Structure 1
Amino acid sequence: MNEIASASVEVLTSMSLLPLRDLIAKAREQQSQVKSDLREARDEEAKQQGELNRRKTSLFRWFYKKRMAELEGLC
């Protein structure tokens, strides 16, 4: 008995399904970009939260009131 192997879905398509294949490929690219953007946004939020926490616990926190208010508005 011989094993039957198949090519990837992107290769196996008919002419009528080409637009669907392209749409799926584009959706995958967009998903990847959104995940990357989300990761960057979460990293930035964590960075700002860390700065806010450091300033709130600093001995000089009275000098940082304006910046702390800015950071609280962002977080």
Structure 2
Amino acid sequence: MRVTTKGQVTIPKEIRDRLGIGPGSEVEFLPTDDGVRVVAVNENISEEEASRSFSRLLDQMAGTLDLGGMTADAV
């Protein structure tokens, strides 16, 4: 997949169809240890799914806080 000069990429049709992504849909790009994960933003998700998504996000962020040289005790 090639990135345009505007920083755009085209999501393959098969993936758009599978995720229900169409014109006006929103997606998020989430950095992972080995690349990037593209996630369709679904505003109509259940509270349970929102909780699971938030838990996954917290797991991904674990240990990534940059304290700028401060110790955890100073925070």
Question: What TM-score results when the alignment is normalised by the length of structure 2?
Answer: 0.30
Alignment TM-score, normalising by the size of structure 1 = 0.30
Higher relative contact order structure (alpha carbons within 8 Å, sequence separation ≥ 6): 1
Q: Going by fraction, where is strand more abundant, 1 or 2?
A: 2
